[in-house]
Amino acid sequence: MCGEDDDDGPSDLEARLFDAFLVHARLLIAETSRNQSGSGSVGAYADRLMGDALTRARRDAEAAETDMRQAIFSVQPLVFARLAGFLASHLPLNEDPLRKVMEAMMHGYAEAERLGVSGAHDHGDGVEHHH
């Protein structure tokens, strides 16, 4: 199938994208942990929830069998988008929930780009290295 090697394993591109996700997820989880430092604010709550959800997504993807990893990783944004739509559908329309969800999605997309520019990478030892 297109995008896969003959052994039905992940393609080199898929493997590189997944590795980048792992590094960026660790960086963002650490960043959200620093931002919530004991505050009872709504922003701290949002950072905790984001960190928890990202930790779960990363853990599930890493724990998946190699042949299922890409499928699990690919469905995660769809699940979270579905959840965002469900939650947003219960907000008052005067709060423009769809706009807020779309802005948050674009913010997340920009975060991935920002983290990618940082030059951090993982040598497989669980520690991000900056060169």
Asked if the structure places residue 68 within a domain, the reply is: yes
| Residue 56 pLDDT | 96
Q: In this structure, is the dihedral angle defined by the CA atoms of residues 128, 118, 106 and 66, taken in order, positive or negative? A: negative
- Tell me how crowded residue 8 is: count the other CB atoms within 10 A of its CB: 9
pTM of the model: 0.73
Asked if the structure places residue 16 within a domain, the reply is: yes
| Residue 127 pLDDT | 45
Across 8-13, average pLDDT: 75
Q: How far apart are CA 131 and CA 125, in angstroms?
A: 16
Asked if the structure places residue 98 within a domain, the reply is: yes
pLDDT per residue as tens digits for the range 46-59: 888 999 999 999 99
Range of the domain at 51: 12-124
Number of domains in the chain: 1
